[in-house]
Amino acid sequence: MEHSIPLLPVREFPDSGTKWLLASPENVCGLLQILDLELANRLDFSQLQQEKTSFVLDSLRRQESDLIFRAPFKEVTNETEREILIYILIEHQSTPILSMGFRLLLYMVLIWEDQRRRWEHDGIIESEWLFRPILPILFYTGDRNWTTPLSITASMDLPRALEPFIPHHKTLFLNLKATAPEKLTAEDHPFGWILRVIQNERGPTDMLMDELKNAVENIDDLTREDRTQWLMAVHYILLLIYHRREPDEHNQLTDLVYQSVKNRNRREEVSQMGQTIAQALMEEGEQRGQIRSTQSNTLDVLNARFTLSYDTLTGLGERVKRIEEPSILHQLLIEAVKTGSLEDFVKHLDELKV
């Protein structure tokens, strides 16, 4: 199952790291092996195809993301195959969501509705419609333990007599931080070893070092044919070190990764990846400093020219600080210098829709 996946840009790791990992069919296989080995053995991951569609509502995109795949599913009884959908919802929030059962059901219905619209658009008669079964998976990375049921009834005042009339579906659920490490690596899949590192991403340094060493040594056993999987795993681990650990630990932890790799050529790749990530973060820090400076200068100019009240300055500050594109901020600073009135400046901000 060798697939070419571009490396994740350094700045996208906090928001997209887990989703990027799970865009790999090999890692989806590893996730299913952890959650339900029997189901995993009946899926053909070599033919897994990602659907380039998201059904997460716009208002929730900062706290969750999703992935959809198509894959052949083999029946045990007659060896026949049919196509199913795998829907993975990645929950980033640290607090469990009481209405998660409702959200999952809503997203599943939206997926089926998308199928129905395509059939109507293509002129397929209704008697030939066959909705694909959906295997829903919730991947929760928060630190708080999740004990809330993943059913729509969890947020419903439901009389027992009406229970048969409410939609029910099972959800495969990985509560990462509460899962026993041994379960994650029971099948010795590389994805499980990465998850053990994520479990300790903010833990004591000595515990993280143990997990890093074990993970890299086990991932290093991947053959040359599995180069993409090895590259993704090591790249993710290095990104995690730079984004989740304090700067004074970076050299020690990245050196441990380097030393844990046996092959000399692979060691060189690890070294180059580490240098590239460090340089990108340094440049990003410099750019972010310039952005903050331009934002502050814009507000200072407005305050000097129009003597703003505390509430007005605070409100404008919140809006200006939402803009992080350097070229737009530069034009905004010029506007602050040249504008004839505060009302004209606010009108300009309104046009930017911030």
pLDDT attached to residue 148: 85
pLDDT attached to residue 1: 47
Q: Give the model confidence (pLDDT) of 160-215 as tens digits.
A: 999 999 998 999 999 999 999 999 999 999 999 999 999 999 999 999 999 999 99
Q: Is the pLDDT of residue 2 over 50?
A: no
b/e 270-309 (16+ beta carbons within 10 angstroms → b)? beebbeebbeebeeeeeeeeebeebbeebbebbbeebebe
Instruction: Return the percentage of the chain with pLDDT > 70, whole number.
Output: 96
Q: Give the model confidence (pLDDT) of 114-151 as tens digits.
A: 999 999 999 999 999 999 999 999 999 988 889 888 98
Per the listing, tokens 């509502």 go with 57
Quote the tokens at residue 312: 């007005």
Q: Cβ-count burial of 140 within 10 angstroms (0-12 exposed, 13-18 middle, 19+ buried)?
A: buried
pLDDT average, residue stretch 297-307: 91
Residue 354 confidence class, pLDDT cut points 50, 70, 90: low
The C-alpha atoms of residue 349 and residue 8 are separated, in whole angstroms, by: 32
Residue 249 confidence class, pLDDT cut points 50, 70, 90: very high
Rg (CA), the chain: 25
The alpha carbon dihedral of 71, 74, 80, 82 has a sign of: negative
174 touches 139 (CB < 8 A)? yes
65 touches 19 (CB < 8 A)? yes
Residue 58 confidence class, pLDDT cut points 50, 70, 90: confident
pLDDT attached to residue 62: 66
Q: Give the model confidence (pLDDT) of 98-117 as tens digits.
A: 889 999 999 999 999 999 99
The lowest-confidence range among 67-76, 182-191, 279-288 is: 279-288
354 touches 322 (CB < 8 A)? yes
The C-alpha atoms of residue 354 and residue 352 are separated, in whole angstroms, by: 6
Tell how strand 49-51 and strand 64-74 pair up. antiparallel
The C-alpha atoms of residue 305 and residue 127 are separated, in whole angstroms, by: 70
What pTM does this model have?
Answer: 0.80
3-state secondary structure of 342: helix
The C-alpha atoms of residue 158 and residue 166 are separated, in whole angstroms, by: 9
Quote the tokens at residue 39: 């189901």
